[in-house]
Amino acid sequence: MASIPTLGAERAAGRVASRAATRELLGRARYDLLVIGGGILGTATAWTAAQAGLKVAMVDAGDFANATSSASSKLVHGGLRYLQTGAVRLVAENHRERRALATDVAPHLVNPLTFFVPVYEGGPHSAPKLGAGVFLYSALSAFRDGLGRVVSPRQAARAVPGLRTEGLRRVAVYGDHQMNDARMAVMTVRAAVDAGAVVLNHAEVTGLRFTRGRVTGAEVRDRLDGAEFGIDARLVLNATGPWVDHLRRMEFAGAAPSIRLSKGAHVVLRRQAPWRAALTIPIDQYRVSFAIPWEDHVLLGTTDEEYAGDPLDVRATDADVDQILSEAGHAVREEHLRREDITYAFAGLRVLPGGPGATAAAKRETVVTEGRAGMLSVAGGKWTTYRHIGRVVLEKLKHARGVGLAEDVSPIPATVPLPGIGAPQAVAHRLLMDREPGSRMDPLVARHLATHYGTMSFEIARMIAERPELGERVHPGGPDIWAQVAYAAEQEWAYTVDDVLRRRTTLTVRGLDTEEVRKRTAELLAR
């Protein structure tokens, strides 16, 4: 591996100064809204509220989307299985949001994907039932992803080389979308900042501020250097996901539990051959598992079991991996499920409303509650509808008692694109063409940049033009380049090695975050 490039003294100093300046700004001003938590819910609300003209601050104790929000199944989908419970309106609403993301908000980050549902002899569903289900599913999306239908095993096997064909009767087909959730989160944070929000990651709330018995801000500690400061706000939103009750107890020590947690684990494997479609694998009458081509690998999962431990300790266990591989084996041939091909395993926590019953049957809904000292808490949600959730929460904020935000909220457009919007194929083509003679970009790198940054890829290309060594691959086994590392540090709030390797690039999920790569990345960040 070649020697690592340097950031450039002026840019490195600017990053450090920017963080200190952000702390000063957060501590000096009074905000309309302080959002605590930078996952799906926090970033969606911060983005929406900033668009509406509110003065917004957002902090997160870790990195943005470092927990559950970057541990999803990477799907932007209508929810085929919801049709079994008669939730036709929910599926239609999901489809509308899915289409908006794929066409108007983030076509550079959200990619169409065909899904196969295999029907095996003795399986939990029949071909006519699934055929009717995928037809209705496609009808609810106005057939914009093609016609839901049933095809032969031979047709499906051509698209999915790992498909198990023994006992396979028919295969139902439908269309959905996928994305890289960590990249979506970073781009949404950037959109919130572009709209006027002030944000800081690795900033832990250590206490709440009160004025006449009402929550009016927070005490914060910078986890990177220990600096302490406070933030004043008219209204505080607790969007801390699995830690939502922890913060509620800061507001009122006797607050009763409001949520329960369900763990979902996933496994990433090297693929043996290219997959052109994903598998939705029926496990029983209600549960499904997925086998999805993702980042040139195959993503398997997910599990669904109640979790009562510390959210910081959540991880994919050996038992989780065993279960995931076993369930994938219902439809994937054994040679495509070798443990030695696993590059990464991860787990996240779904936040569900409190109550009895199995977590798999619990409603996946967003709940907003108001504490006795006026702090609002929001829990639950999914990536597909995160824009809609942001708008719903904004409506709750407008009507919070004793705050008077409604008169300060301006109308917002129906659709606002995320930064970098552009057709990936056009972006990749321009990256390949707009080069000096003798310095042509690798087509795989160009495609990778186009589908993870959109038109922001041109900023990365300019960095390479100024410092050609940044165009080198971080690891020869993947398409990520050193310019992405520099860009993450300079423009995307990346301060730790995991910020870069797991959430700004794809090195960790590809199993390429070797000791050498981590060391060199740390050296670059330090400079």
> Chain-centre distance of CA 208, in angstroms?
28
Residue 125 to residue 119: CA distance in whole angstroms? 7
Residue tagged 């929001």 (tokens): 378
Which tokens belong to 344? 């990464």
Residue 516 to residue 501: CA distance in whole angstroms? 12
Residue 413 to residue 104: CA distance in whole angstroms? 12
pLDDT of residue 438: 59
pLDDT of residue 85: 81
Quick one: which H or E segment has residue 41? helix 40-51
One-letter amino acid identity for 405?
A: L
> Chain-centre distance of CA 4, in angstroms?
29
Residue tagged 């008692």 (tokens): 401
Angle at 328 between CA 324 and CA 334, to 5 degrees: 110
Residue 60 to residue 358: CA distance in whole angstroms? 30
Closest by Cα among 400, 498, 31 to 233: 31
Residue 135 to residue 95: CA distance in whole angstroms? 14
Residue 499 to residue 224: CA distance in whole angstroms? 13
Residue 86: other Cβ atoms inside 10 A: 9
pLDDT of residue 5: 57
pLDDT of residue 250: 97
pLDDT of residue 13: 33
Beta bridge partners of 117: 172
Residue 124 to residue 131: CA distance in whole angstroms? 14
Q: Domains in the chain and their CATH numbers?
A: 7-68+183-258+360-399 (3.50.50.60), 105-178+260-354 (3.30.9.10), 424-526 (no CATH)
pLDDT of residue 218: 98
Residue 306: other Cβ atoms inside 10 A: 13
Beta bridge partners of 168: 120
pLDDT per residue of the chain (527 residues) written in tens, 0 to 9: 445 555 443 333 334 448 999 999 999 999 999 999 999 999 999 999 999 999 999 999 999 999 999 999 999 999 998 888 888 988 999 999 999 999 999 999 999 999 999 999 999 999 999 999 999 999 999 898 889 999 999 999 999 999 999 999 999 999 999 999 999 999 999 999 999 999 999 999 999 999 999 999 999 999 999 999 999 999 999 999 999 999 999 999 999 999 999 999 999 999 989 999 999 999 998 889 999 999 999 999 999 999 999 999 999 999 999 999 999 999 999 999 999 999 999 999 999 887 545 555 555 578 899 999 999 999 988 899 999 999 999 999 999 988 989 999 999 999 999 999 999 999 999 999 987 665 689 999 999 999 999 999 999 999 999 999 999 999 999 999 999 999 999 999 999 999 999 999 999 999 999 999 999 999 999 98
pLDDT of residue 498: 98
One-letter amino acid identity for 145?
A: D
pLDDT of residue 343: 98
Residue 124 to residue 53: CA distance in whole angstroms? 51
